[in-house]
Amino acid sequence: MKNQKNIKVSIAYPPIETTKGHASVSQNRQSQYFTESQPLQPIVMSCGATMLHNKGYKICWNDGISEEQTKENFVKIIIDENPDYIVIEGKTPVMKKFWEFTNEIKEKLPETKVIFVGDHVTALPEETFEKSKTDYVLTGGDYDFLLVNLIGHIIEYVPLEPGIWYRDGDKIKNTGNFKLNHDLNTLPLINQELTKWKLYAYKCSLYKTGPGFYLMAGRDCWWNKCTFCSWTTLYPSYRKRSPESVIDEIGHLINNYGAKDIFDDTGAFPTREWLKKFCNLMIERGYNKKVDVGCNMRAGSGTYEDYLLMKKAGFRTILIGLESANQSTLDKINKGLKIEEMLDTYKKMSKAGLEVHVTIMFGYPWETFEDAKKTLELGKYLLRKDIVSTMQATNLVPYPGTPLFEYCKQNNLLKTLDWEDYDMSKLVMKAPLSDEEVAKMARSLYKMAFNHELLFRKVLKIRSINDIKFYLKLGREAFGRIKDFEKCEK
């Protein structure tokens, strides 16, 4: 039996060779292909790698997607490293490619154990055993803790926690339903050198200057009821770290890596007293003068005074979901909000000096062309009136494990179960709109980035060379998204 120092673990994101563009897998609730690469550091996987490293295991960080490696070269690297374990985070549209990679590696390294994690395998754990030579599946969103537990069980015989699926001869067994009972305050600071932080620190469009870093104050969303969100599969409950823990991490990133941008990717950032304490600590420690902060928030979760405090504390960008301009759709997807509440929130945030980034979706199976057009026109109106700063449009995808997926199954709305089609390039649900109509609407929204009125306002806001660079980056991203949706129309 090997000891920890002799155990080698590869954290692997196999490259996907395709004409579709750059795959988005890590740290993504949705998965699609982009013309412009925007690699994001996978936070939970990074925590797991750091925890194993701290216990003495040798970690190989192999993000072939972010490093833009060829499949041939990536396979060679893995074979040369000859790891004892390979850990792969899967997303629905790339599962077939990752199964193929698994089978190829198992042919060449039969003693290496392959472990899958992520929302897709949490929803359909048995499928991955059937489609590949995978050895283990870790379900739920705390796969950093489960990874340490699994390898600890194999090496040190510690009892297995719930949520682990494994092969036992010809049978597939499991340790029961996963539990989200781990204390997030015990998580270590991510070892940034180990996880190759420079891969992720500059390309993200949320970062104004860089270096930028993702972190998570909680897992994952305190509302947790939207029927389309894939991460409700991973996190059916909500936990958060202490404000002090998150502030200490931000200070660590500022002092040791020169962080200029921080984005907290918790599904819904903590609010109320937690938020006030966090903001006051940012101000007390002077971090509000050193770094721009962004986060995801839920409409109606704060007051105008809260948003003013956030602005003072260094917050710049707030990502917030609109989803649709039709109240009936918001009710169907269990958004739990009125259109008026959301618009009021955007106005208050903008008035407080925060930059609001809104997300919308097209392709709901019950929405007509006029319904979708209503959403498009509201999006354009919010941009023209400077109520929101930027906007993101995507195709609606019913991911396995979500209530939306079950709704589509029950109502015979799924056009295909070929997971490669679930990459947001086409509609996989029967809907009144065609793929071409949806793509045209999304392109129309992204073209607003080049509207002369909006461009003039951006020019007036320029205060430094960094502002110019940032707006150019946003322009490149918008142009890339236009190109992406042009592909969808063909």
Going from the N-terminus, what domains does the chain have, and what CATH number goes with each?
4-174 (3.40.50.280), 201-489 (3.20.20.70)
Residue 436: in which H helix or E strand, if any?
Answer: helix 435-446
**What pLDDT score does 462 carry?**
72
Compute the distance between CA of residue 412 and CA of residue 429 in angstroms, rounded to an integer. Answer: 9
For residue 140 the two structure tokens come to: 């739920």
**What pLDDT score does 452 carry?**
59
Concatenating the DSSP letter of every residue in 444-467 gives HHHGGGG-HHHHHHHHHH--SHHH
State the CB neighbour count (10 A cutoff) for residue 165. 22
**What pLDDT score does 28 carry?**
86
CB 31 within 8 A of CB 24: yes
Alpha-carbon distance values, 198 to 40, 202, 406 (Å)? 11, 7, 40
Question: In Å, how far from its chain's centre is CA 77?
Answer: 26
Alpha-carbon distance values, 471 to 254, 462, 467 (Å)? 24, 9, 6
User: What pLDDT tens digit does each residue of the chain (490 aa) get?
Assistant: 566 768 999 999 999 999 888 888 988 888 888 877 889 999 999 999 999 999 999 999 999 999 999 999 999 999 999 999 999 999 999 999 999 999 999 999 999 999 999 999 999 999 999 999 999 999 999 999 999 999 999 998 999 999 999 999 999 999 999 999 999 999 999 999 999 999 999 998 889 999 999 999 999 999 999 999 999 999 999 999 999 999 999 999 999 999 999 999 999 999 999 999 999 999 999 999 999 999 999 999 999 999 999 999 999 999 999 999 999 999 999 999 999 999 999 999 999 999 999 999 999 999 999 999 999 999 999 999 999 999 899 999 999 999 999 999 999 999 999 999 999 999 999 999 999 999 899 888 877 766 656 665 766 677 777 777 766 766 667 566 666 666 555 5
Query: H helices within 297-368, ranges in order?
Result: 304-312, 327-332, 339-351
CB 253 within 8 A of CB 213: yes
**What pLDDT score does 443 carry?**
86
CB 7 within 8 A of CB 84: yes
